Amino acid sequence: MFNTKILLTVAFLFVLGFVAFAHPSGPNATPTPFGGVALLAAAAAAYGGKKAYDKNKMDK
């Protein structure tokens, strides 16, 4: 369980880093609309991972 928490924490910070630095900079830059989509995808992956972990734990 401890390794799973560490893995999820590192994965969340990794995705958060991509979201934070994905936006272009400059005076005439248009913002990218994928920040919320990336966070939603990360949340869905974490939820699916938890469901798979729980199912695997129940099968043992």
Question: What is the pLDDT of the chain when averaged over all its residues?
Answer: 77
For the chain, what percent of residues have pLDDT higher than 70? 70
How many independent structural domains does the chain possess? Answer: 1
User: What is the domain extent for residue 35?
Assistant: 2-24+31-59
With a cut of 70, say whether residue 53 has pLDDT above it.
yes
Q: What is the DSSP string of 9-59?
A: HHHHHHHHHHHHH-S--STTPPPPTTHHHHHHHHHHHHHHHHHHHHHHHHH
Question: What is the spatial distance between Cα 39 and Cα 2, in angstroms, rounded to a whole number?
Answer: 23
Q: What is the DSSP letter of 32?
A: P
Per-residue model confidence as pLDDT tens digits over 22-39: 666 667 767 666 667 777
